[in-house]
Amino acid sequence: MAKNEKRENEREDEKARQYDLSIYVKAIGMSFEPAIGPSETTHWFSTEEVVSAIKQIDPSAKVDASLVYHALSEAGYKFCNRPSSHGLQFKWMFREKEQ
């Protein structure tokens, strides 16, 4: 791979890392708020489910699991292993807002 091509790929990777997910986090916030713990959680979503939902609405979105993790964490959402689950699978805890 040529040096210029490698630099271009690195720039593309950096742009993808800087992709702004705030509009998606705001959209999530229209229906959900961060749950403090499992007992008040009404919906459980994996990081991949959130990535998939974003890509369904915007197929050109440069989003990956790492970006979703950081965006949801910064917005105050927490994750844990679902109580009484068989195995270890972390999920984000969402609480449905009362309308």
- What is the count of structural domains for the chain? 1
pLDDT, mean of residues 64-74: 95
Strand partners, 44: 93
How does DSSP classify residue 82?
P
- Domain limits for position 22: 3-96
* pLDDT tens profile 23-62: 999 999 999 999 999 999 999 999 999 999 999 999 988 8
Distance CA 78, CA 69 (A): 10
Measured CA to CA in angstroms, residue 88 lies from 2, 49, 60, 91 at distances of: 43, 16, 31, 10
Distance CA 63, CA 98 (A): 29
pLDDT band at 64 (very low <50, low <70, confident <90, very high): very high
